[in-house]
Structure 1
Amino acid sequence: MNTSKLSFRHLPIHLQRVMTLAGGTVPFRSASRFAAAGMAGVVTDVLLFQLFTSLGASLALAHMGSFFAAAALNYFLDSKWPFWPRHAEDQRWRHFGRLLTVGLLALLMRGGILALLVFSWHMPPMLAIFPAVAVTAAICYLGAAFYVFPVTQNPPSANVRWRVASLGIVAFTILLRLVYLGQAQLIPDEAYYWNYAQHMDLSFYDHPPMIAWLIWLGTALFGNTEFGVRIGAFICGLVTMGYVYALARNLYDESTAMRAVLLLAILPFYFSTGMVMTTDAPLVAAWAATLYYMERALIADQNSAWLGMGIAFGLGILSKYTLGLLGPAALLFVILDPASRRWLRRPQPYLAAGLALLLFSPVIIWNMENDWASIMFQSNRVKGGSENQFAAHLLFLHLMVLLTPVGLLAAAMSFWPGAERDNSAVARRRRLFVRVLTGLPLAVFFVLSISESQRFHWTGPTWLALLPTMAWLIGQAGDFSTLSRRVRAAWKPTIAVCVFFYALVLHYVVLGIPGFPYGFLSEHYFWREATEEIEQVVAEVRQETGQEPLVVGMSKWSVASSLAFYNRNGKPMEIRSRNMFGDSGAMYDFWHPSEPATSRPIILVGMRSHELARTRRIDDIDRMLVQPGPIQEQVATRDGKPLRRIYHRIAQGYLGKDPDPESGS
């Protein structure tokens, strides 16, 4: 009993020692005043929030207004009662900037927590503010202890500081994604893949089936909600982190592995694939797993790794055909690396390839049954269709978006021959592995971009093999070039800007930012409110005519899919796509290949007004409609603020698909 009391009595001292060793300061010397100031801030925050909400303020305005008032009070008390170590006058603005950064990140996280509790868990705002304030206080305290006022006397090594920073930032980004996962509305791509799951098949016209399987499982567990659609992407993001950590640890060390996971957490492409449910989410996870097993098989010489490689590769090409580029890359490494050539005479690689092919068999079967439609479509996409233009400069711009300018520069330095000075046999094989597994897929995209424009995100997974080297360079403080030192220094503001940007965008699309209009992403986003507007039109037409109208999304699949997912009010709408008017509707060409002539009302819906008058193949679609009406514009709103425009047009019937689509061209 005495031992237990002694342990609890000394717990704050042990906690202080642990935090100090990790590089954080703990203001225990003024614990009573610190607690009093914190409580004053909490009380002010909660009371002002209650006041603002009772006056009819929006959730965003109420929680942001109360937060800034409480933060101002805490800053005033801190100036009177110094809780944290004081530094030279010239460093005060630096600390203020860091404190502001931590506060804003905590605020934007809190918005997501409030949205989750109020909109999804249906908790009254008056109660939801309490757990939201608690999380905010924890983030602010830890941020101040480790980032704003770190230990200055006998500080821990740079290695330890990077480990602690990596752990904190990765934890924050994971929590950020999890909190906003079910709050942010689906983008049209996600709604389209949700429609895959409503029409389960062995494969699909424009993608393999993995995305449909993941969404089907997620929605079976959590319902047809944003969370149910996206939970698979979130899990894929965690799987990617695990495999990248293991790969970087095998190639370098544990500290490098932590920094590699940090890069995964903050680089734009990898942050988005861990949250947005597109085919890139399972692709990136499978790509990371394949790289890990390739390194274990080819460099570590583990026979059992070939089984993992076969499974990972098979699941990867079930996610997206792009992963197939790792096959030729692995073969090239085996040819170039003398120690690996013996695998060409062993059965394991061929058995792994057979296993991957077996896993890929649903796609093969579907294509055989559908005249190889998916294979032909993907070959045309790689060729760029009818386009013929130089686009290498666009590839460079895309890489800066995917990796940030600092990330792209760091990647180029990591790929450069002089990045590492270790010339041991192990280091040379490691460098060859990284460069071949990055360089060959990237070279394919570069060659294609010389004559054709590619999708901006296609190169995203190719950098996974290079992330460990990029992470290793961050931790090097030796005699490197001035450029290397500047790139290492630039990572810190880049990390802060990226995390702040993600949190700001998520808060903006879910709760908004007071004083800022909803103009960002307005054409392709806010489909929940846009669907409500179309539902009203459908209800009016149904009441006036006594017939069920046919709703036609006049884009390839974005409009139809988004309307289908967010059609939650009243009777479900009967939805088709623009393939009714002779243009491509992607999988809608298979789900609804033809539509007979009908006297039922037709409601055309588009994101742009011209989509309701013509398609790419038919200049005038009026001849296919009975008494087509004028194009009308509607504005979807939230809390009285305009969100986006959407256009619709009503006709009294449909005459059938144009027998000669080119006749109107």
Structure 2
Amino acid sequence: MTQFSIVIPTLNEAENIDPLLTRLFSLDLQKESFEVIIVDDGSADGTPARVRAWESRANVRLVERREKPDLTGSILAGAALARGNVIVVMDADLSHPPERVPALIAPVLDGSHDVAVGSRYIPGGSTEGWPLHRQWLSRLGGWLARPLCDVNDATSGFFAFRRELAATIAERARGYKILLELLVAGQGKLRVIEVPICFSDRTRGASKLSFSHQWTYLQRLMTLAGGTVSFGTASRFAVVGLFGVVVDALLFQWLMSNGAGLALAHIMSFFAAASVNYTLNSKWSFRLHHAGHLQWRQFSRFLTVGVFALLMRGGVLALLIYSWHIPSYLAIFPAIAATAVINYLGSAFYVFPVEHNPPSPDVRWRVASLGIIGFSVLLRLIYIGTAELFPDEAYYWNYTQHMDLSFYDHPPMVAWLIWLGTSIFGNSEFGVRFGAFCCGLITMGYMYALARNLYDKSTAIRTVLLLAVLPFYFATGAVMTADAPLVAAWAATLYYMERALIGDRRSAWLGVGIAFGLGILSKYTLGLLGLSALVFVIFDPAARRWLRRPHPYLAATLALLLFSPVIIWNMGHNWASLSFQSSRIQGVGDDQFSLHLLILHLMVLLTPVGLLAAIMALLSGRDNSGSSHERRRRLFVLAFGGVPLAVFVVLSIFDSLRFHWTGPIWLGMLPTMAWLMGQTDDLRAVAVRLRSAWKPTIAICLFLYAFALHYLVLGIPGIPYRGIYEGFPEHYFWREATQGIEEVVEEVRQQTGQEPIVVGMSKWSVASVLTFYNRGKPMEIRSRNMFGDSGAMYDFWYPSEPPTARPIILVGMWPHNLERTRQDRDIGKMLVDPGPVQDREIVQDGKSLRQVYYRVAYGYLGEQHLGNLK
């Protein structure tokens, strides 16, 4: 009885037939248990004759195809004639070792799996004899297929499967990667195992791989992912795009030459070109996917893609014009090219998607998630170098100008990252924020690995999607504050904790020690994970044995060693930082009940839908049913998500908390939130509505981020900066405000012949941004601690200022900052001949950005006079 059939497609493989069949029939298998079907695609080197010579000697059959050579067609033709219940596919060039056939067929024959893949990219697998470029091409092909299937070597040509699965492969399947077709047709329901093999490059004959095969693979890959992709569609889209470029560029140049601002010109030219493109694409490029008349649903999707492309394009223009100083008439062309890529992918996958044999919902989620993640990451990368620094970022940049082992109000990690970024990219916005961007990518990597360990690959991709779109995590990947490295270290600590406590890997404790140490060098909040780990170990019997082993204690020792710079700094500064942080444990110090504010803050940090999902994730952790692994996974969520949350809830009862303090704690619940997004068997109304609410939530969040960044950098026609949100301009536009203060300083220099002292009349914000954006003649800048108020690190950098007859220029966000201290002392009594509070309007390109307030005096009476006032 024939148990399995080996199907081997051939094209001019005469030299390999004899050694291949000799090795196959030399296997320790019953000769009657398998057959070999060789499907020839029109060889001209005598391959069919070599095969016929074997037909009388062994269980070999020859099939000669007369159609156009196609690997997928050949394999399906052989499978249709197979007698075995299991089909094995392999190449004829001896690159696939025949000796691995028994190991490959075993899991399919015994019924434990549906597909077995001979894999080069799992432990025990390898590739020999290939040049480096072919190895990278193969790896790239496998990586591109990852969103569609959970296989490390999806481009393998050596695999076994149940014969009836061949009928599931799409009729339009083509190319040379039939395994991918098979896996995608299984809709994620196939039981797949990978068997390691050693792949060897051919030694006889010529390779059939060509650029056309690679292009066909890419086209088919995108089609399987749900995109309308073909050479004809792409070429027609390109022709339409070129026509749109002409319309776009000409209208843009005309508007700019007639005095329109950059934002107005590029928005109007974009929509004019987009309207032309939609009409031509729907009627011509994607005509097979268009109903022939205007479809509002389709048109709304087109507008959605267009708006996102437009907002991204604004960032590209700003980067090219403002940062790289490229003239606008040249910058518009690369900006149009970037827009075209987004428009094409959006049109192919969203506006005009595949309707015949569409991918499974899981594959659609994966592909959409990767597109959203890519857009979110690219949005940050483009805008972080053009958006101005916020005062907090400028303050941490000032850390690097006074580098030390630690600082009064934060550990040193944020300073170290800014120092690294500015050392590479200079004292620019991009240099300051480069570390935050990298921390965002690190967070995504660790959270992907954590979610994959706890659940599966689909959940891992959705976890990264949540990181890309939830407000707190989007911000920490773009804005350089202490939260950026904290979130990355928190994610790393969670991953290594899971590997140590659930995965039972001793080596993971080394990662725990390093990640925890780096985390408390970022922000002391990470110490809550130590409490979470203790709770998990107490309640989990399997993890409790770690209390009797040295590994956790060695990890704690390593973390303490990494934390030693902070300890050394505090020893030399009267424990100032630790005293300051300990005083903040209860909150900001106003002794007010703030639980309601905590809930409001969480809605902003996570969105209302995200907060509801987090609550459901916590509630699911209370379920004690299921396997041991499931129960331990739920306990992990409760311990590492619920325990830190409980601490903040208790604190909020007695005091107010900072807006962003709870942001990192949700990382422990994020994988479960992502897992709930993919559950279809939960029929509870809340769960169903929650899943349906994620789509608009994701779209709205991405739109708001792109809109806000475009607004900050280029503006939005018709929406002024002043009057929209009270206080916003005063915290932003410090680059332009600093230029205005430089003009005031120069006026005082000219008037007095002396160098004035500029005093930022806030705790640290004004002095920090003035120092960063001081691009003219250097100014001597101090903070409000000159007048007895706290200046945070300015108390250490400039602890005292002697009396002086030099001019003093006070600069503030609001007038009252220049009149009285926080202790309600009259600032004018500490100055010599102080003038009135004045304001200067900051205008750019005819638009009013903000007001900046200043006050000029002609001397400072010093600390002794300050003491008399007290």
* Bucket of the pairwise TM-score, normalised by the shorter protein: over 0.9
2:293, 2:525 → 1: CA distance?
A: 52
Letter in 1 for 2:827: I
Q: Does 1:395 align with 2:601?
A: no
Q: 1:371-416 CA deviation, whole Å, 9 max, x = no partner? A: 1111111122223354111100000000000001111111111111
1:197, 1:32 → 2: CA distance?
A: 52
Q: Does 1:405 align with 2:604?
A: no
Deviates more, 1:375-384 or 1:164-173: 375-384
Q: Does 1:448 align with 2:651?
A: yes
Correspondences of 1:62-101 after superposition (within 5 Å): 62-78=265-281, 80-81=283-284, 83-86=286-289, 92-101=295-304
> What corresponds to 1:109 in structure 2?
312
What's the CA shift for 1:152? 2.4
> What corresponds to 2:498 in structure 1?
295
In the alignment, structure 2 segments of 5+ residues that lack a partner are 1-68, 70-205
Q: 2:369 aligns with which of 147, 166, 177?
A: 166
Q: Does 1:633 align with 2:836?
A: no
Q: 1:526 aligns with which of 716, 727, 733?
A: 733
What's the CA shift for 1:434? 1.1
Change (3 A) 1:345 1:31: closer
What's the CA shift for 1:193? 0.2
Correspondences of 1:579-590 after superposition (within 5 Å): 579-590=785-796
Q: How many residues align?
A: 662
With structure 1 as the length reference, what TM-score do the two structures score? 0.96
Q: 1:372 aligns with which of 548, 552, 575?
A: 575
Q: Does 1:573 align with 2:779?
A: yes
Q: Which structure has more RCO (C-alpha within 8 Å, separation ≥ 6)?
A: 1
> What corresponds to 1:489 in structure 2?
692
> What corresponds to 2:334 in structure 1?
131
2:214, 2:320 → 1: CA distance?
A: 33
Deviates more, 1:341-350 or 1:37-46: 37-46
What's the CA shift for 1:12? 5.7
Correspondences of 1:297-336 after superposition (within 5 Å): 297-336=500-539
What's the CA shift for 1:151? 2.1
Letter in 2 for 1:457: H
What's the CA shift for 1:256? 0.7
Change (3 A) 1:193 1:94: same
1:144, 1:661 → 2: CA distance?
A: 70
What's the CA shift for 1:57? 2.4
Q: Does 1:23 align with 2:226?
A: yes
2:421, 2:859 → 1: CA distance?
A: 39
Give SS of 1:464's match: helix
1:500, 1:95 → 2: CA distance?
A: 19
Letter in 1 for 2:512: M
Bigger share in helix: 1
> What corresponds to 2:550 in structure 1?
347
Report if aligned partners of 2:815, 2:853 keep a CA contact under 8 Å in 1.
yes
What's the CA shift for 1:249? 0.5
Q: 1:121-154 CA deviation, whole Å, 9 max, x = no partner? A: 1212122111111110110110111122222222
Q: Does 1:141 align with 2:344?
A: yes
Q: 1:553 aligns with which of 756, 760, 777?
A: 760
Letter in 2 for 1:355: L
2:428, 2:236 → 1: CA distance?
A: 46
Deviates more, 1:297-306 or 1:636-645: 636-645
Give SS of 2:842's match: strand
> What corresponds to 1:193 in structure 2?
396
Change (3 A) 1:35 1:227: closer
Correspondences of 1:405-484 after superposition (within 5 Å): 405-417=608-620, 423-484=626-687
Q: 2:810 aligns with which of 595, 604, 622?
A: 604
Correspondences of 1:184-223 after superposition (within 5 Å): 184-223=387-426
2:208, 2:328 → 1: CA distance?
A: 40
> What corresponds to 1:41 in structure 2?
244
Give SS of 1:654's match: coil
Report if aligned partners of 2:682, 2:688 keep a CA contact under 8 Å in 1.
no
Larger Rg: 2
1:44, 1:606 → 2: CA distance?
A: 47
Report if aligned partners of 2:588, 2:658 keep a CA contact under 8 Å in 1.
no
Letter in 2 for 1:308: G
What's the CA shift for 1:549? 0.3
Give SS of 2:758's match: strand
Change (3 A) 1:91 1:162: farther
> What corresponds to 2:15 in structure 1?
none
Report if aligned partners of 2:283, 2:290 keep a CA contact under 8 Å in 1.
no
Report if aligned partners of 1:110, 1:135 keep a CA contact under 8 Å in 2.
yes
1:418, 1:152 → 2: CA distance?
A: 39
What's the CA shift for 1:451? 1.5
Task: Determine what percentage of the aligned residue pairs are the same residue.
Answer: 70
Change (3 A) 1:30 1:194: closer
Letter in 2 for 1:549: P
Change (3 A) 1:607 1:84: farther
Deviates more, 1:124-133 or 1:254-263: 124-133
Give SS of 1:551's match: strand
> What corresponds to 1:648 in structure 2?
854
With structure 2 as the length reference, what TM-score do the two structures score? 0.74
> What corresponds to 2:474 in structure 1?
271
Change (3 A) 1:387 1:662: farther
Give SS of 1:649's match: strand
Report if aligned partners of 1:85, 1:149 keep a CA contact under 8 Å in 2.
no
Report if aligned partners of 1:25, 1:84 keep a CA contact under 8 Å in 2.
no
What's the CA shift for 1:232? 0.5
2:609, 2:351 → 1: CA distance?
A: 23
Q: 1:616 aligns with which of 798, 805, 822?
A: 822
What's the CA shift for 1:30? 5.4
1:258, 1:303 → 2: CA distance?
A: 27
Q: Does 1:537 align with 2:744?
A: yes
In the alignment, structure 1 segments of 5+ residues that lack a partner are none
Give SS of 2:464's match: helix
Give SS of 2:843's match: strand
Letter in 1 for 2:731: H
Deviates more, 1:179-188 or 1:518-527: 518-527
Letter in 2 for 1:550: I
Q: 1:329-388 CA deviation, whole Å, 9 max, x = no partner? A: 101110110001100000000000000000001101111111111111112222335411
Change (3 A) 1:659 1:388: farther
1:370, 1:404 → 2: CA distance?
A: 41
Letter in 1 for 2:751: E
Report if aligned partners of 1:618, 1:662 keep a CA contact under 8 Å in 2.
no
